[in-house]
Amino acid sequence: MTHDRPALLAPGTDAVPIRAVTSADWAEVEAGLAPLQRAFAKASGFAPKAGRTALLPDADGTLARVLLGLGDRQAPAHDRFLPGKLPAALPGGAYRLEPAEGLDPAEAALAWLLGSYRFERYRKPGEPRPRLVAPEGIDAASVERIAAAVASGRDLVNTPANDLGPAEIEAAIRSLAERFGAAVSVTVGDALREGFPLVYAVGAASPRAPRLIDLTWGDEGAPRVTLVGKGVVFDTGGLDIKPSAGMLLMKKDMGGAAAAIAAAEMIMGEGLPVRLRLIVPSVENAVAGEAFRPGDVIRARSGLTVEIGNTDAEGRLILADALALADADAPDLLIDFATLTGAARVALGPDLPAYFTEDEGLAARVAEAGARVNDPVWRLPLHAPYASGLESKVADLNNVSGGPFAGAITAALFLRRFAPRTTAHVHFDLYGWNPSTKPGRPEGGEVQTARLAHALVARLVAGGA
């Protein structure tokens, strides 16, 4: 894994100033520039459009100032993480953000650190990154903790399956537990047959033993928050095998586990007063003689029998056993994270994870948290009549619906069957990947909804909810 985490420089460090400008204040900022810099900005064609930059020299040619265009902050498509573009646009060195109207210094610093991320495990390290001086008045340690947790989660998603199996997922969680004094129990291989039969069935064909990893942390009397993450380290589709194009990004099928692990790291790092539980079922959905088959009927941990309509709908199966385990503990808040359906991507695209919950108050809080920390989501309905598509003639339910419609909704309805006691339950159906680089979001693995979950839990415990 990559361990070189970008950090903020101490306030007062000598650094090149960065001025963020909008269309509204550009004339005033331009007039205040030194004549040489004003002429250079004009000659280079700088305009305060979103994401535009200009590197302005002093009289001897030394970099003296940077301009960053913010465009129109009121525009619907305005990206609050625009400062996260700068680490890839600037030469190495120290920089500081000048105060600017509408620019949140803590958010800008976080965007910078998120945009500084590189995955260099398999290649020669690049040039030194530019460094940002911590803006005055922010909680720099908190910003750095969040950025480090995101980076660790991105590392997990970016690591190919030949180097990241269920054992490596377990090792990552054990490392986290050691850092924060948490307890971990793990059920591996044949030991899953009785307690977690769906996890066992999905992982049985792989030479790398499947497992259920269970971490607990915090005061037993505190509000109980349980995070569950789908940890499919690679998904061939099983006997319903995917075409080759469908497998190219399947190393990211453990993106839900990475998001849950990152959120847990943020919660423990901040010392939030909760009883945290992190449950990750981790498997490889492989093809071999031990593979589960279409038409198999498996009795889940909850006691429900599940007919296998498609072996490529394996994520919901391992989550079913994990959710049953979580539900038995009756948590005050249950969040599951999964790269679950292509249907959610078709509906909302790669940047906007879907979320599902029956709790209207919780739904509003999720939306508010996502908007507040720039980790956006969109609610889809748990439309109960669609559950009829999961009916089976030989079992309690099928793992897939009988038609091509509403795949994300029917998957969410399937999961709800396995956590009936917990009403405060949020299911995130996420993509776990940035198809292209955007400010603060480099191309590659992404732990979507992790920062949202951390912000949600922090606000809930602060408000006594």
Any idea which residues carry the catalytic annotation? 242, 316
**DSSP run (H or E) holding 99:** none
SS3 state of residue 397: strand
Q: Angle CA(64)–CA(66)–CA(67) in degrees, nearest 5?
A: 140
C-beta atoms surrounding 387 within 10 Å: 18
Strand partners, 213: 186, 280
- Spatial contact of 146 and 118, defined as CB atoms under 8 Å apart: no
C-alpha radius of gyration, the chain, whole number: 24
Among 434, 406, 428, residue whose Cα is nearest residue 349 = 434
C-beta atoms surrounding 72 within 10 Å: 14
Q: Which residues contact 244 (CB under 8 A, 6 or more apart)?
A: none
How far apart are alpha carbons 322 and 24 in whole angstroms?
52
**What does each C-alpha distance from 89 to 61, 84, 114, 396 come to in angstroms?**
18, 10, 14, 56
Alpha-helical regions (H) of 315-444: 315-328, 342-348, 360-372, 407-416
Sign, CA torsion 179/180/181/186: negative
AA identity, residue 440: G
| Sheet with strand 397-398: strands edge to edge | 297-299, 305-307, 397-398
Q: What are phi and psi of 100, to 5 degrees?
A: -145, 140
Q: Which residues contact 67 (CB under 8 A, 6 or more apart)?
A: 18, 19, 21, 29, 41, 46, 48, 52, 53, 54, 56
How do the residues of the chain divide into helix, strand and coil, expressed in percent and rounded to 5? 35, 20, 45
Half-sphere exposure of 1 (CA within 13 A, CB side): 18
190 burial level (CB within 10 Å; 0-12, 13-18, 19+): exposed
